[in-house]
Structure 1
Amino acid sequence: MGINAPVLLTFVTIICFASTSYTFQGTASFYKPPYVPSACNGYRDDGIFIAGASDALWNNGAACGKDYLVHCTGATNQAPQPCKSKAVRVRIVDYCPKGCSGTINLSEDAFSMIANLSAGVIKVDYAEYYKKWEN
């Protein structure tokens, strides 16, 4: 029993659009430890895969506790090939006020998973991470 090619093509197209419809483009910078205190949780240790949200994500604190999947897509400066071939999942625990050099300000540990630290600021795709994706 063969697969109908037009049906398969339609299905693949729908999956591709569904997977990219909640992806946003922006920039990421990083900050060095210590990672406390934070705007969301005070002096609680939230681990090392965390981030601060700029005004684009912050939404008056509604971003606190949300997880994002962040993937490096390129350089914002002359850094040659800053990206590594990984994505990193981070939790928003802090606010990055006006003047923040990225849409999302990753912990140094998180940034180093997806890019070379020498890049400083990188282009990224990011999407809110939902636990249902784990199943």
Structure 2
Amino acid sequence: MAFEKSLTIIFGVVACLLSVALATPGTATFYTSYVPSACYGNKDSGVMIAAASDPLWANGGICGKVFNVTCTGPTNPVPHPCTGQSVVVKIVDHCPGCGGTLDLSREAFAAIANPVAGIIKIEFNQIG
């Protein structure tokens, strides 16, 4: 029993380290008008959503993909913008020239950072 518990703990630690190692650095901004979207037109997709920048857009191939996003620090003088939380978002839109890797909904941005920061450093990885 103790061996199985130790093995489970070790597996969990390795999985956490692997997910951090696979995270991609980038930047995030936020937006507030969610419908219509480039992926789903006038369909409401909720508020835990994001728009992909040109390098990620892949001619719409990223639509519907799900990402875990974590704030890693400021890009401007706003001290300590990160909340220490992560957020899961679904890509529903395209953000050509938005100035960040991901343009998060205001609600998703606020879950991981102070919106006053406007733009933050992030790490993100696809989970679905």
Q: Is the pair's TM-score, using the shorter chain for normalization, greater than 0.5?
A: yes
Deviations 1:43-72 (A, max 9, x none): 000000000000221111110000000000
Higher mean alpha-carbon deviation, 11-20 vs 68-77, is at 11-20
Aligned length: 123
Corresponding residue to 1:119 among 109, 113, 117: 117
In the superposition, the TM-score normalised over structure 2's length comes to 0.86
Judged with a 3 Å threshold, the aligned counterparts in structure 2 of structure 1 residues 11 and 40 are, in CA distance, closer, same or farther, namely closer
Q: Which structure has the larger Rg?
A: 1
Which segments of 5 or more consecutive residues in structure 2 lack a partner in the other structure? 4-9
**Helix, strand or coil at the partner of 2:38:** coil
In structure 1, how many angstroms separate the alpha carbons of the residues matched to 2:86 and 2:12?
Answer: 23
Which segments of 5 or more consecutive residues in structure 1 lack a partner in the other structure? 4-9, 131-135
In the superposition, the TM-score normalised over structure 1's length comes to 0.82
Root mean square deviation, CA, Å = 2.1
Judged with a 3 Å threshold, the aligned counterparts in structure 2 of structure 1 residues 90 and 15 are, in CA distance, closer, same or farther, namely closer
Q: Is the 8 A contact 1:57 1:63 kept in 2?
A: yes
> Structure 1 segments of 4 or more deviating over 3 A?
10-17
Aligned sequence identity (%)? 50
In structure 1, how many angstroms separate the alpha carbons of the residues matched to 2:100 and 2:94?
Answer: 12
